[in-house]
Structure formats: C-alpha cells, structure tokens
Amino acid sequence: MLFPTPAYAVLLLAVLLASWLLSSRPRAWRVMLLLAGAVFYGWFSPRLVLLLAVSAVANWAVAHGIARGHRRLLPLGVAANLAVLAWFKYYGFFVTSVADALTGLGIGLHPPLLEVVLPLGISFLTFQAISYLVEVRREITPPSSLLDVGVWLSFFPTVTAGPITRPSELLPQLPDGTRVRVPVGEGTWLLARGLAKKVVLASWLLTEVTDPVFGAPAVHSGPELLLGVYAYAALIYLDFSGYTDLARGSALLLGIRLPENFRAPYAATSVHDFWDRWHMTLSRWLRDFLFTPLAKRSRAHWWRSVAVPVLVMLLAGLWHGAAWTFVAFGAVHGVALAWERLRREHRRAAGRPRRDTVASRAVGRLVTFHVVCLGWVLFASESLQQAWVLLRGLGSGWGVSLDVPALLAPLLLAVLVAQLLPERATAWSRAAYRRSGPLLQGAALGVALLLLDALGPEGVAPFLYYRF
C-alpha cells in the first residue's frame, strides 16, 4: 500500500478512529495496530505478513534468551537476520557476480539462478531487528512481550522505508491505558508537507527531468545532464523526506513521535556533516552498531581513520541495493569521509584548525554538494556503464541551447535556498497553523488537498526507497 493513495487514507482514518476508541485498553490497541500493520504490509503480497511474523517471533525469542544470560545468542541472532537479508536481496547479485568473474578468467560456469522476490522494506526490517537484540544485550531496553515486538516491527508508518526506529525510542511510547494528548496540528502539517513534496514536486521532477536524463544520457548535452543531476539531488530529497513527513505525521496522530530523519542535508559543509543531516536514523545506526565497534577493535591509525570509514560506507552502499553502482556510491562517500578525517587530523597536528568563516562555509557547502551529486549519479544509474556515459557527457555540448522545462531552475533554486534558511524562518508558519484551531486547520488542510489533487499527476509513483 502506498502512502498518497485513497486506500491508505481509508486505512489511516480507520486506525485513528479505532485508536481513539481503544485508547483506554492498551492490549486491544496493540492488537488493532498489529492488524493494521499486517493489512498495510500484506497489501503488496499476503505472504509478506509471514516474514514479519517469523522475524518478530524469532527475534523476541532470541532477545529473551540473551536477557537470561545466553549472550552467545547475540551473534547467532544477528547472523540469522543478515542471512535472511542476504538470501532475499543479495543471492542473485552474488551468483551473477561470481559467474561473471569466472567467465572473465575463462572458466565457464552457469549456476542455477533462482527467482527470489525482494520483500519491501527488508533492509529496514533487518536493521531494526538487529538493534533490538543489541539493545537487549547492552541492557538499554528490557526484553519486551511478543505483542509489543510485533507492533514495533510491523508499525505501518515505518515498515517499508523507515525511519529506522530503535526499541528504546518507540516501545516506551505505546499506550499504558491513560489518554495522551495527540498533536493533531503538527501531525496534519507533516502530512500536508509530505504530500506536497511527493505528489507534486518529486513526481514532476521524476517524469519531466530525471527519467529522461538518466534513461538516455547519451542524447543530452553537458548542461542538460548537469541540471538532470541537480534535479535528481532535489528529487531524492523531496521523495524520501516526503515519505518521512508522511510517516511521522501518521505516527503523531496515533500519539507516537518518530525520530527526525532529515535536517537540511544540502546545507552541509562536509560529507561528515551531510551524513549527520541525511537519513539520520541510518547514520546513527551505522555509527553505533558498525563504526564505533569496528574502530575500537584496533588502535592503528590507518584502521580508524581510513579503513573503517571506507568499509562502513561500502556496506552502507550495499545495504541500499544489490548492484555495483551502490557499492561505488558507498566508495565515494567512504573515501570522502576518510579524506576529511585525515585532513582534519593533519591540520590539528600542525596547529592549524579549520577557521569557521562565511567563505569557508560557502566553499565547504559547494564542494560537499558536488561530492554528494557524484554519489547520486552512481545511486540513480542502472549500471556503472550508464553512470560513466553520463559523467563523460558532462564535458560536452556546452555551446548548444538547453532543452529543459522552464520551471526546473526556479524549483531547484527554491529547494537549495530552503536548505539554508534558519529554523526560525519557517517555524512561525507551523506555529500559527498549530494555534489556529480544528476548524481553520481542517479548512486549510482541505484546501491543500484540493491543490495537491489539481497540481499532482495522474497516479503516484512508488517512493524511491521502497526498493531498499
């Protein structure tokens, strides 16, 4: 089930009504939400519900075993979760990569290639399950009931594309029988903003710019390709942050506050700063469960400063998708993070710390944005060859006239300028909406929905992160 569809609107309204009726009965409320998650996730394929059920039962059992002192169950539980992810997501990639490598060596090998259907959100589900086992092992969160684990893993706003929630973030927010104040104004504001980002802006960029450019890069001039790359940077931000707004808004109407996932990522002054602002729940997961444990395993300078950042980002790239383009995407960010770390350490050792000036921030933002755009070229391309054609084409055709939609430049400028605005510049409008009362909020939301329906295209494409 997609967020911006009539089916989801019906489901959300039904869940909100049931949540209000069952707010004083916490167990019934949980069962209702579990069923809602099963309907939402099973809408794509009823068999997917079985995957959720098996994951919830298995991780619940392993967590209770860890809590009883069987700490060796942690690596087994983590390995089991990763094995499920590897089977569904990386089996075909691994088999074809090995076969191609052997063919290049003159060894003909034709292993059986099974048709494995990739479940939606399997990467997000795996990372959440692992975080539960690790947090129980670290005694950050106690082992929960099977019902609570099932509700958390199948929570319909997050089950397909995050934000990646930790059990210590979401489970304490489940109702205990007392009525909680629901921030309706903030929730509906997020829903309206998410719909505008996805239904209008991201959909227009996808159909009018990025699909034509990335689908046939050889027929476009250098300036057109460059604008296409910039358009994809805007597209993936609007698409994914729009999804996050819809997820957070839906959860808020149930009284649950999800973690923030984006904070003006294109205002970042370094690649490290970018990952502190982009897909923040993934960045924190990688830091807490991969980077920090790996860095502590050795005091060698090259390991902590170079090898670990590159390795973690290679794994992050592979987490996004089973293709060499995603590995290359991770490599770009890993090398950039390692370079920044080495440069920072060198300046500190030489007694020349970086000066924080307007000029240095401007240069840092410009360089960082283009490093990120290089990664987006690899991220969006179907193959390394296609990415190379696009990158090579950036240097050609600069004397020809541009064939791009007239609205593209103003839209790109608006997206980038919005990243640089201080929080207080937009806080007043949100605050005014929240204070306006139910009648005015409902009227404003109704007008917004009418405008979105008028401006949006026919049909809505799936969110880009659904394939991860």
- The average pLDDT across 98-112 equals 67
**Distance from C-alpha of 329 to C-alpha of 118, rounded to nearest angstrom:** 21
What burial letters (b/e) apply to 72-97, b meaning 16+ CB within 10 Å?
Answer: ebbeebbebbeebbeebbbeebeeee
Omega before residue 163 within 30° of 0, cis: yes
**Distance from C-alpha of 370 to C-alpha of 210, rounded to nearest angstrom:** 17
Give pLDDT, residue 47: 82
Give pLDDT, residue 461: 65
Long-range contacts of 420-429 (CB under 8 A, 24+ apart): 420/264, 420/267
Active site residue 320: yes
Considering the candidates 320, 333, 346, 370, report the single residue annotated as catalytic. Answer: 320
Cα 411 to Cα 3, 145, 230, 418, distances in angstroms: 24, 48, 11, 11
Q: Radius of gyration over alpha carbons of the chain, in Å?
A: 23
Q: pLDDT at residue 423 above 90?
A: no
- The average pLDDT across 402-429 equals 81
pTM for the model: 0.90
Residue 67 · residue 136 · CB < 8 Å: yes
Give pLDDT, residue 108: 63
104: exposed, middle or buried (Cβ count in 10 Å: 0-12, 13-18, 19+):
exposed
Query: Which token pair is 133?
Result: 């086992």
Given pLDDT bands bounded at 50, 70 and 90, which one contains residue 116?
A: low
Residue 381 · residue 328 · CB < 8 Å: no
Question: Of 117 and 287, which is predicted with more confidence?
Answer: 287
Q: pLDDT at residue 457 above 70?
A: no
Give pLDDT, residue 427: 73
**Distance from C-alpha of 468 to C-alpha of 161, rounded to nearest angstrom:** 8
Q: pLDDT at residue 370 above 80?
A: yes
Q: pLDDT at residue 459 above 70?
A: no
Average pLDDT, the chain: 86
- The average pLDDT across 134-154 equals 94
pLDDT above 90 as % of the chain: 49
Q: pLDDT at residue 110 above 70?
A: no
Of 180, 178, 155, nearest to 166 by C-alpha is: 155
Give pLDDT, residue 186: 86
Given pLDDT bands bounded at 50, 70 and 90, which one contains residue 103?
A: low
Give pLDDT, residue 128: 94
Give pLDDT, residue 468: 60
Of 385, 280, 369, 366, nearest to 324 by C-alpha is: 385
Give pLDDT, residue 466: 64
pLDDT tens digits along 376-410: 999 999 999 999 999 999 988 776 667 778 888 88
**Distance from C-alpha of 175 to C-alpha of 436, rounded to nearest angstrom:** 27
- Please, how many CA atoms are within 13 Å of residue 433, restricted to the half-sphere of its CB? 21
Segment among 187-196, 212-221, 414-423 with least mean pLDDT = 414-423
pLDDT tens digits along 50-79: 989 999 999 999 999 999 999 889 999 999
Given pLDDT bands bounded at 50, 70 and 90, which one contains residue 145?
A: very high
User: Locate tokens 């890993």: which residue?
Assistant: 334
Given pLDDT bands bounded at 50, 70 and 90, which one contains residue 162?
A: confident
Give pLDDT, residue 88: 85
